[in-house]
Structure formats: structure tokens, C-alpha cells
Amino acid sequence: MRYLRSIFVWLMPFMLLSLQGCGGGNSNGTFTPVSTTAVGGNNGSTTVNTTVSGTLTLTATPASIDANGGQVLVTAKVVDLNGTALPNQAVKFSVVAGPASVDPNFTTVTTDSNGEAIAIVIPGNTTVTTNVIVLATCKFGLQTASAHTTFTMARGTGAITFSGSPYTNEASIDPGVPYVIFQNQIPFTLTDANGNPRPGVPVTLSVYSHSGDPRTVITVDYLADPTAELTQSTVTTDSKGQGIFNVTVQVFAPGPGLFTSDSIVFKAVTNDTLPLVAYAGLTTKLTETASSLSVAPQSSAFAAGDVVGATRTIIVAGGVAPYTATSSAPNLVSASVSGSTVTLTLQDASAWTQTVSILISDSKGQSVTATVTRQ
């Protein structure tokens, strides 16, 4: 077996931030990336007015079936950021690799009170043992979360088995960090029809499909030069029929308060006359935290000579649009919002003396208070 190459990351020479990747759960195991590195400054797939965000997971039952028969149930689970089930969410199901299809009646399913949506997958025909990868997607506003699950179709011809597939890479970055690099080691085992290891066999891994942010850079067998993209690599199995592929995914920041999700499928094949084929699914999710909400000025005043209809303005910065503004005394001063400008309108021209509070909030729940007085 060819020795595993070391993984190197060449980073910008300043303002470096390291992040820990966290593994996601599914019916076929969990995976933690070798390392996750965010590169850039301080303060990066959509701009969207949304107040809901969440997490999507997917499982398949059973995990293995006899080829050319039976059916598989896939269950998607949608929860908010606190882990509470989200009902009435539309989940779309599709087969992204392998000989199978989603039952046409279950391509889009709405989650129930438990936040679950269930679809039926119908296996097709295959002459060799292989696996199937199912993708589920769910939209939060205009942002799309994705998750993979996989099941095996056994044919008794030997198999390529990935340890821990499908894989999940997740990270969170501060505003201003331009991208994250996920580094993955993907181990596999090659066996014959009797389950015995097959040593000395070349196995080639390539990028089979990718959906998500088109800026994402996927590299198979990561090289010392991170600017050189290599989309496939061949590894020869060792005496135990095992090998390891290196995969690097560079994900760019989606924007403050937003997340971006990628669905990536890799295809592995042997050099046999009748090649064995297997697929490995990998999803990434990168969340950029929202910058702090601020307003200027924080205090305003109407002059004694101002009449009803006089206005003052407050400029909102940071946070995530859209913004809202609420007056504690709308009979004295009303508040309206257009983009990032809050307009305060005098409604009572009498010599009132109280301080009016204006609560300004963004779509992520951040808020700040400005005050208005009458001179």
C-alpha cells in the first residue's frame, strides 16, 4: 500500500484562527475530520431574511439488503438550534449515488410533530455489491441544509467498505474569516466474496458529484501545494486489504448570521474486469456568527419648536437584516424601518418630559435600545 501522504495547510501569514470540526450522527457511523482550519481576518451561501435555522440528520433502515429486492426506509429529523423538533418542514429526498430511486410519492415529505419525515427508497438492479447514498435537503429561508445516509446492496461479489461513511464536517467561524479548510482521512477495506481481505489491489477514488456552494474546492489526496486541485487518486490496498484516502474541502464563508451546506459524493472503483464500486458521502456545514448589532446615534432629541411630523433618523449596523423597531410610547414618537434606517416621527408636539425607548432588533434576535427625548 502506498504510504499516506502528510496533510499540509498553507495559511495566510496573519490573523489565523483554528477551529475544531465536529462529527455528525447517522445510521452508519460518525466521523470527525482530521482538522478544521479557518483562515482570515476578523469579522462567509446566501443572503436571506430568515428567523429560523436548524439541523437535519438522516438514517436508513435497514443498513443492508439483498440486491434486487426489498425496500429501504429513510428518516429525516429536523430540529432547531436548541434541539427542539421542527414540524411542518418540507424535506426533499433524492438518490445521489447507486442503483436505486426514491418512490415518486415520497420525493418531498413534510415533517410531523416529532420533526420527522420518512421516505421509501426502491433499489434497482446491480451485478456487484455496492452501496446507495440518499440525500435529504431542507430549506431554512433561502438557506438549504443537507444530510446523507447510505445502505448496502449485497451481491456476494466482494465489497469496498468505507469506515464511517457518510461523513459530516461542521464548523462555526467569526465574521470576517473568509474560508475554512476541512481535512479528512477516509479509510476503506476491500474484501472478496467470502469476506476475506484483498491485498495489493489498486482502488481509485474520484469526485462523483457535488451540490452546494460552487466556490467550494474539493481535493482528493491532498498535496503539499493547496492550490493544486486533484480530483482523483489511486491507493493500493495493504496486506489487510485496507487503504486511506485524503480528502480536503475548502468552504467559503456565507455571510454574517448565515450558514452554507455542501453535499459531496466520492466514487471508488477497483481495477477488476468487473469493477467493484462504492460511494462515500460527505456533507459540510459552515456557520458564520452574526456581527454585533449597533445603532448611531443611541440618543436623539426633538427640539422645543418641532411640530408633529418632525423626524429624526437612526442608522443600524451589524446583525442580520431585516431589522424591526418598536417605540415604548408610539403616541409620542413612532418608529419605522427602511433597510438600515430607522425613522423616528414626532406624534405629540406638547412639552412632554419622559424618555422614549426605541427597541431595535435583527432577524437573529439581537437587540439594542436607543432613547428619544424632547427638549
Q: What does the alpha-carbon distance between residue 122 and residue 195 come to, in Å, rounded to a whole number?
A: 26
Nearest Cα to 117, choosing from 93, 84, 83?
A: 93
Where would I find the H helices in the chain? none
Helix (H, G, I), strand (E, B) or coil at 59: strand
Q: What does the alpha-carbon distance between residue 242 and residue 203 come to, in Å, rounded to a whole number?
A: 10
Nearest Cα to 71, choosing from 45, 105, 48, 31?
A: 105
CA 320 from centre of chain = 18
pLDDT at 198: 96
Q: For residue 125, give the C-alpha cell.
A: 438492479
Task: Provide the pairing of β-strand 341-346 with 311-317.
Answer: antiparallel
Helix (H, G, I), strand (E, B) or coil at 354: coil
232 contacts: CB under 8 Å, gap ≥ 6: 204, 205, 206, 207, 220
Contact, 63 vs 151, CB < 8 A?
yes
pLDDT at 41: 30
Residues facing 316 on adjacent strands? 295
What count of other Cβ atoms lies within 10 Å of the Cβ of residue 273?
A: 5
The mean pLDDT value for 42-58 works out to: 46
Lowest mean per-residue pLDDT among 26-35, 73-82, 160-169, 251-260: 26-35
167 phi, psi to nearest 5 deg: -100, 150
Contact, 26 vs 146, CB < 8 A?
no
Dihedral of CA 344/346/347/350: which sign?
A: positive
Q: How far is CA 213 from CA 113, 197, 217, 261, in A?
A: 31, 38, 9, 7
What count of other Cβ atoms lies within 10 Å of the Cβ of residue 52?
A: 13
pLDDT at 257: 83
Per-residue model confidence as pLDDT tens digits over 6-49: 332 333 222 223 322 332 333 322 333 334 444 433 222 222 22
Residues facing 235 on adjacent strands? 203
pLDDT at 81: 76
pLDDT at 289: 87
Helix, strand, coil proportions of the chain in percent (round to 5)?
A: 0, 55, 45
Identity at 215, one-letter amino acid code: R
Per-residue model confidence as pLDDT tens digits over 131-170: 999 999 998 877 888 999 999 988 878 999 998 888 999 9
92 contacts: CB under 8 Å, gap ≥ 6: 107, 108, 136, 137, 138
**pLDDT tier at 249, thresholds 50, 70, 90:** very high
